[in-house]
Amino acid sequence: MGAKKGLKTFTELDAYKQLKILSKNPLDLTREGVLTPERIQQMSTSALNFQYIYAAERVTEEVLDALEALARETSAVIKMRGCQAGDVVNKIEGFESEERQVLHTAMRDFFDHPQVSTPAIEASTLAKAEADKLDDFLKKNDKDNTFTHLIQVGIGGSDLGPRALYLALQAYKRKDRCVHFISNVDPDDAASVLKDLDLAKTVVVVVSKSGTTLETLTNETLVRSYFIKEGLDPNKHFIAVTGKGSPMDDPSRYLASFYIWDYIGGRYSVTSMVGAVMLAFGLGFNNYYEILRGAHAMDQNALKISIKDNLPLLSALLGIWNRNFLGHATLAVIPYSQALVRFTAHLQQCDMESNGKHIDKLGKTVNFETGPIVWGEPGTNGQHSFYQMIHQGTTIVPLEFIGFKDSQYGNDLLFQGTTCQQKLLSSLFAQSIALAIGQKSDNPNKQFLGNRPNRILLAEKLTPFTMGALLSFYENKVAFQGFIWNINSFDQEGVQLGKLLANKIIAIFASQNSRASVEDFPSGAALIHVLDKLK
C-alpha cells in the first residue's frame, strides 16, 4: 500500500497487475488475419471531426478494458475535472513545492459560463479582460497602421508553442503582418532577425512570467540597443507579457503590458497572453479566437468518461501500455503536414518537462518508467532518414501520426493520377501498415519484423480551430499520464540545477571582464580556460 491513507502506488493497482499479465503475450500484428478492415473500423473513434485510428497498436479489447479500468482506478477523469475547476494539483505532499492551481484551460474557457463563480471562472474572467485589452490595442494599431512587424522575445514555453502555432497557420496569416522570434541567447539569433527589419514599424513583445528570465532579459537589452542605434525610443516599441507586479511590470518602459498568472505553466501558456499577443497580431483576432475555441472544445472532450469518447485519455493510455507494459522508451510524433514543422519540438517540452520525473506526488522514488523520450519530424522527409531505424532497427519506436484530408492552401494538381495530398496520405497510411505487419523474406536484409505500434490522428484540415484542438489534445494527454502515474506534471525542478551552475560560470566571465574576484567554481573555470586555446 502507498504511504498516504492506504493509497496504492501505480505498480500496486489491480489494473496494473492485470495489464502486466496481458503484456506477457501482446497481440501479434504480423499474424495473418489480424490487421483487417474490420479491426480498423472497430479500433477507430471520433470526436470534434477528428478520427483516431489505433488498429496498429498491439492491443485487444481485453487490453483496452484493462486500460479503462486503470483510468477508473486512478480517477483520471475526476482529476482532470478537478484540475480544470481550479484544484491545487501542482504540489508534492510533505515537501516544499509550488502549491499552485493549474488553469491554462481557463485561458480559453470564457465563451459560455454558468452564474456560479469558481476559481476557473475567476481565472477565465481575468483572461477575457486581457483579451479585450489586446483587442483594443490591435484595433488602434490597425487604425494608425503603427506596426507591421512583431518580434517575440522569449524562451522555452514563451517561444516553442507560440512559434509552432504561428508557423502552422501561415495559410491564415494577415498579409500586412509579419512575426519573428528571438529565443536563443546566442547573439547571432537576434542579429539574423534584426538585420533587415524596419524597426520604426516593429513592435517587440518580451515574454517572461517572472520578469527575471536571464536569457530573455539579455535578449531584450540587446534588441533595445538596435532601436537606440536607429534613434528610436524603445519604450514606444516594447510590450511586456509578464506577471502582475514583476520587475517587467513597468509602464515607464513598455508601450503596453499584458498579464499572465502563476497558475499558467510556461509549456501550457500558448493560449494565454504568452501566445495571444503574437497570434492575434499575426493571424488576426478572429483566428486567435478560433484557436481558443478549438482548445476549449478538446478540453471538454477530455472530461468524457469512456476512453473511446475521450481522445486525450485514449492516447494517454495507449502510451502507458507501450511505455510501462511493452517497455518502449520513446515516442515519435510524425505530422504529415509541413505546416507542423515545429510542433513536435513544442511537444518535446510539453511532455518531457511535464512527465520527466522520478518521484511521485508523495516525494517517493517511483519504481516504474515515467514519460517517454519524444521526438519527430514531418513526413515524408523522415521516410528517407530515420524510418530505416524505425522499420529495421533493434529499438522499437511507437509512433503517433498526424494527418489531414485536405491541404491548407488547396493549391494541388493531379500527377500520374493522384494529387500531392493523396500521395502524402498514401505514404502515411502505408507506413502505418508496414510498421505493424512487417515483411517476411528469405533475404534477411529485406526482412521487416513488424509489430511496431502506431496510431493515426486525422482531421479534415489544419485550421485555427483544429490547431487549438490539437494543442489541447496533447496537453491533456500529458496531464492524464501524470494523473495515472501520480506524478506532478506541472513543475520543472529539473531545469533549475543547470541554471544555477550557469549563473556561477557567468559570474566567472563577469569577473574576468571587470578584473574582479569571484567565488571559486573550479570546474566551470577550467572549461572557460579552454577558450584561451582557441586563437
Residues labelled as active-site residues: 353, 384, 499
Q: What is the DSSP letter of 148?
A: S
Q: Is the peptide bond before 380 cis (omega within 30 degrees of 0)?
A: yes
| 3-class state of residue 208 by DSSP | strand
Other CB atoms within 10 A of residue 15 CB: 19
Q: What are phi and psi of 134, to 5 degrees?
A: -65, -40
Residues in a beta bridge with 205 = 152, 239
Which residues, 6+ apart, have CB-to-CB distance to 290 below 8 Å? 463, 464, 465, 468
What is the total residue count of the chain? 535
| 3-class state of residue 207 by DSSP | strand
Instruction: Please give the biggest Cα pair distance in the chain.
Output: 75
41 burial (CB, 10 Å; 0-12 / 13-18 / 19+) is: exposed
- Comparing C-alpha atoms, which of 163, 459, 118 is closest to residue 294? 459
507 burial (CB, 10 Å; 0-12 / 13-18 / 19+) is: middle
Spatial distance between the Cα atoms of 195 and 250, rounded to a whole number of angstroms: 28
